Chain A
Amino acid sequence: MLEVNKVDAFYDEIQVLKDVSLKVNDGELVTLLGPNGHGKSTLLKVISGLLRPSSGHVKFNGVEIDKLPSHKIVEMGIVYVSEERHLFPDLTIMENLKMGAYNPTARRDEDTNANYVFQLFPGLEQRKKQMASTLSGGERRMLAIGRGLMSSAKFLALDEPSLGLAPNLTDDVFNGISEINKSGISILLVEQSIMRASELANRIYFMEDGKIVFEGGKEELLSNEHIKTAFLGM
């Protein structure tokens, strides 16, 4: 479904991604792990068209998307849910969701998608007339994911959805993610917390210093000597 092929990317002069290749198959939930500041979020920005790769390609269902503007990429079914969320603070919950369905394809399914989001996160429905700025951290996370789903996405790029959340809220968010994946939406999940995220994943990539240093399942990850000593403290 999504194929990242030998991508290099820079912020100004600094190379953040180095020859990154990664694949997410139809219906898969793939986790991208790795320490903070090593390029995971940057890869999601490249996939969603917010940052252009300096070389390499990103393909979605066989079509090259790395030169498309971000709104075309959303229209094709890829949506990015940022770690910083980037909600619209002075719009209501409902208006935020409606803006998620801005592209012409999603507009037709606006009501269906909104019902799905409210079923997934019932807390949002009770507050749909409130401004986004009045929400708690966990609810903002849910709204950001819900706003992404409003685009009729077939592929979700999720950036650290559990960051800064209390454990019980983290459970809600991860249950939601698992539900979304079961409904047939492929997910690339970026996380720092290895344990929680690797439980959900079909496959795991590990990124270090802008390079993919590991690819495999949970068991292999936990028995990888380098990752064990450097990042798990075992």
Chain B
Amino acid sequence: MNPEQFGGVLICGLRISAIYALMAVGFTLVYGVGKIFNYAHGGFYTWGAYIAWFLSAGFCHLSYPIAFATTIPILFGLGILFERFFIRPVRWGGAGMMNIFIVTLGAALFLDALALVIFGPIYKRLPPLLGGNLSLAGFVISRHDLTLVAIVIAITIGLILFLGKTREGTAMRAVSQDMIGAQIVGMPIDRVFALTFGISTVLAGVSGMLLAPRTLIFPGVGWPIFMKAFVIVVLGGMGSIKGSLIAAFILGMLEAFIAYFIGGVWGLPIFCLVLLILLVVRPQGLFGTAG
């Protein structure tokens, strides 16, 4: 492995780490606030890419950055509607976690099937956000990857500031720490949940839009990314955003080197092996609390 190849693997690792981080943070946010395991998270990844494709190359012919920006509020709205019409009734029904589990799994399958019906099985292609390559100190990096990493860093910092400094963000942390306490002080829990789903869906969809120029778009494209994000969330500790960010970096880099030395198909099996070992050795993850 010469320095150039090493640099290439690092850049590839950085790109997938960034996407995994965004996916994992979105997933862990909903889990942390609502203790809800959202299977549909991968479906929103897929739909983020499809909506951006529909608005740009596919149908509306908007320029890609504009399509990208337009997709974000659409995703936010989808998350809100998903919470309002599928999560909320089950949650207040007192039916327990298993039912919400099944609802989100059903939604995931539905989202894929709907994509197949509407867009068909033929793979779609998204253009890169910025075309061309940059040469940095002898390493070649595509402008798209650079933009991707910059966007992910900006979103992550924005989210951390939102959760740490604003009233609505603090409310989300409060609900995640003690839901009855949040009810007692008079928080409208439903609104906090809706906001959480809105943000989480945006994070999933933006991941899809950012990675789609590399992977193409097809129904179910979100599943392997979702499963890897899940392993990352378990490694980081369910509900821990800091844990997810660090775990995404570790596993993203690991995957890039696995792909270089053994082959790309080994990514998911090795992730799942990591998950199995983790559940035996340290089930609470790196930053989670036991139980």
Contacts and interface: CB of A to CB of B under 8 A. Distances in A.
Contacts of A148: 184-185
Interface string A82-96: 100111111100010
A129 interface: no
A98 B177 CA distance: 15
A74 B170 CA distance: 19
A56 B178 CA distance: 30
A171 B185 CA distance: 25
Interface string B167-195: 10011011001101111111111000000
A98 B186 contact: no
A162 interface: no
B184 A91 contact: no
A48 B183 CA distance: 9
Contacts of B183: 50, 70-71
Contacts of A151: 185-186
A3 interface: no
Contacts of B171: 99, 102
A170 interface: no
A103 interface: yes
A79 B180 contact: no
Interface residues of B, number: 17
11 contacts: A71-B189, A74-B185, A82-B180, A82-B184, A86-B184, A88-B173, A95-B170, A99-B170, A106-B186, A148-B184, A151-B185
Interface of chain B: mostly helix, strand, loop or mixed = helix
A93 B105 CA distance: 39
B186 A147 contact: no
B170 A91 contact: yes
Nearest to B170: A95
Contact of B186 (A71, A87, A90): A71
A99 B182 contact: yes
Given A91-B170, A95-B170, 18 more contacts: A50-B184, A70-B184, A70-B186, A73-B186, A75-B186, A85-B181, A86-B180, A86-B181, A87-B181, A88-B174, A90-B177, A91-B173, A91-B174, A98-B170, A99-B182, A99-B185, A103-B186, A106-B186
Given A98-B167, A102-B167, A80 B174 contact: no
A131 to B, nearest CB: 10
A27 B190 CA distance: 33
Given A98-B167, A99-B171, A99-B182, A71 B187 contact: yes
A161 interface: no
B45 to A, nearest CB: 29
Nearest to A150: B185
A72 B199 CA distance: 25
Contact of A91 (B177, B180, B186): B177
A98 B173 CA distance: 13
A100 interface: yes
For the complex of A and B, list the 6 residue pairs with the smallest distance between their C-beta atoms, beginning with the closest: A74-B186, A86-B181, A71-B186, A88-B177, A103-B186, A88-B174
